[in-house]
Structure 1
Amino acid sequence: MRIITLIENTPGAPGCVHEHGLSLYVETARHTLLMDTGATGAFADNAAALGLDLSRVDTVVLSHGHYDHAGGLWRLVELAPHAQIYMQRGAGRDFYHGDRYIGIDKAILDLPNLHLLDGDCRLDEELFLFAGITGRRFWPRSNLELRTTAPDGTPVQDDFSHEQCLVIAQEGKHILLSGCAHNGILNILDRYRQLFGADPDVAVSGFHMKQADPYTPEEWAVIDDTARELARYHTRFYTGHCTGKPAQERLLARMGDQLHPLHSGLPLDL
């Protein structure tokens, strides 16, 4: 198995661009898949620069209903029209950051290969999707700026019930892929333990922390507490995208070799 960060917020491999978005390329024994498609089609240009054939992609998982994870889907559909696409049903709702629309293109909902899920779903022996993350340990405060709409059109706080995670099982190892961990990375790990009774060997996710200085003492304390809790897991972590550079540097300083940064175009050491 191999995983390559096709696109992320920071530069990495020569010839690869970066953007505010996330897309992970995964090859398993049975599948060639993408976890998210970035904000634009630039992930596909990076794939070409890396010599990856995206026409072989058979599965696409959209982690949640935000543009920076699903904006490049049309480019993938052009390259791999047979690929099966999976997202939670609620990811098709309207989403806003303040007054700015950050949801997906609604035309995605008409794609014939789209599967709208209502919770957990096992795709096969290798792939398992889970949602239903209800914990609130260190729930990201930056979520408070994010809204969706009630059935009557009233703006309401997004509860991120539309967020899902992918678990890949192969060669005796379990890899957990998340997008932004809007529900909180610790709550996602708690849900994983409920389902599998153990820790994932590897977890790849943005942590949706504050993006830039200044941080308050309370915000630094949450980052330090998160690092302490993550260190209790028998898991190697990879993070980037929405974690924020200052927060990521603080986590790296606290967690050492247990945490690694993501960069556009670079593979993960599995």
Structure 2
Amino acid sequence: MMNNENTMTITLLCENQVGHKGARVCRGEWGFSALLESKDHKILFDTGHSDLYWKNAEALKLDLQSVDIVVFSHYHWDHTDGIVHHHFLNKKSLLIHPDLQEKLSERTKKTVLDDFNIIPSRKTYKITEDIIFLGEIPRKMSFEKGTYKDDPMKDDTALAIKTSRGVVVLTGCSHSGICNICEYAKEVTHSPLHSVIGGFHLMSDDRETVKQTISYFKKEAPQSLYPMHCVDFPVLAAFHKEFGVIKAATGDQICF
């Protein structure tokens, strides 16, 4: 539900943990899903891997039937397999990078093909004037691999939301590199970085990448950072030490 003083709300429908706001009614599991509500548009961003995102939305009294479009950040099971548990009464559009469809599990692929109008886009795609699907992310940061294991992860993308104070980035897992994503979001929107929300895919055993990423955010100085999901505890602790980050989780709402 929207706060009238805000123009945008992001509600976490699925994350590894449950936040204080959702503690009595929500459950958490490994995965990610978020509902983005602007003044005139609702976007379901990722669906976790089970029906939990839908159940949590119901518990929070959020109406997913009124979603305008579904967006996948990348193909991994913990961000897409939950789509098979949807209860949409009307056929929704599904916005994806074109490489994603063939990489889905067979069950998820069948649901996607049967139940959704697929919009494939390798380039940026304007969902609204202020909400942009970034498509394929240029890999420019030398310290970020921009891959996952042996997969180049060209399908890994994010949303860029233009606000009066700068761009808000909503990302799923950032396999393409969280700094690469932020740089492209700035370029596409011609805006400074205001906030970054989602999985940053940073683990403490990759010390140099963590160090360089923290340096990047110190330089960019966004107003807020919300690393979660695929970020381990030592890295979260480092972000708390450097930026005062308080981790958000299932049931939490972030308002702008």
TM range (shorter): 0.7 to 0.9
Q: Give the corresponding residue for 1:245.
A: 233
Match of 2:15 among 8, 24, 38: 8
Which TM-score applies when normalising by structure 2? 0.85
Matched, 1:24 2:34: yes
How do residues 76-95 of structure 1 correspond to structure 2 at under 5 angstroms? Answer: 76=86, 78-94=87-103
Q: Give the corresponding residue for 1:127.
A: 131
Residues 139 and 173 (structure 1 numbering): CA distance in 2 closer, same or farther, change over 3 Å? closer
Identity of aligned residues (%): 25
CA distance in 2, matches of 1:169, 1:60: 19
CA contact (8 A) 1:128 1:166 kept: yes
Q: Give the corresponding residue for 1:38.
A: 48
Residues 200 and 158 (structure 1 numbering): CA distance in 2 closer, same or farther, change over 3 Å? same
Residues 254 and 234 (structure 1 numbering): CA distance in 2 closer, same or farther, change over 3 Å? closer
Residues 94 and 61 (structure 1 numbering): CA distance in 2 closer, same or farther, change over 3 Å? closer
CA contact (8 A) 1:138 1:184 kept: no
Segments of 5+ residues of structure 1 without an aligned counterpart are: 96-101, 146-156
CA contact (8 A) 1:224 1:251 kept: no
Segments of 5+ residues of structure 2 without an aligned counterpart are: 1-7
Match of 1:209 among 202, 209, 214: 202
User: Secondary structure of 2:199's match?
Assistant: coil
Q: After superposition, give the CA deviation of every residue in 1:195-227 in whole Å (9 maximum; x if it has no partner).
A: 2233232211211122xxxx55xx334323321
Name which of structure 1's ranges 21-30 and 118-127 shifts more when overlaid on structure 2: 118-127
Q: After superposition, give the CA deviation of every residue in 1:79-116 in whole Å (9 maximum; x if it has no partner).
A: 35332210111012337xxxxxx787221234442212
User: Secondary structure of 1:6's match?
Assistant: strand
How many aligned positions are there?
A: 243
CA distance in 2, matches of 1:39, 1:223: 27
Matched, 1:118 2:122: yes
Matched, 1:254 2:242: yes
What is the CA distance between 1:127 and its match in structure 2? 2.0
What is the CA distance between 1:54 and its match in structure 2? 1.2
CA distance in 2, matches of 1:89, 1:247: 32
Residues 172 and 186 (structure 1 numbering): CA distance in 2 closer, same or farther, change over 3 Å? closer
CA distance in 2, matches of 1:23, 1:62: 9
Name which of structure 1's ranges 46-55 and 107-116 shifts more when overlaid on structure 2: 107-116
CA distance in 1, matches of 2:164, 2:191: 16
What is the CA distance between 1:252 and its match in structure 2? 1.6
**Once superposed, what is the RMSD of the aligned Cα atoms?**
2.3
CA distance in 2, matches of 1:237, 1:52: 24
CA contact (8 A) 1:34 1:60 kept: yes
CA contact (8 A) 2:198 2:227 kept: yes
CA contact (8 A) 2:50 2:81 kept: yes
What letter is aligned with 2:130? Answer: E
Residues 93 and 117 (structure 1 numbering): CA distance in 2 closer, same or farther, change over 3 Å? same
CA contact (8 A) 2:33 2:48 kept: yes
Which TM-score applies when normalising by structure 1? 0.81
CA distance in 2, matches of 1:26, 1:19: 20
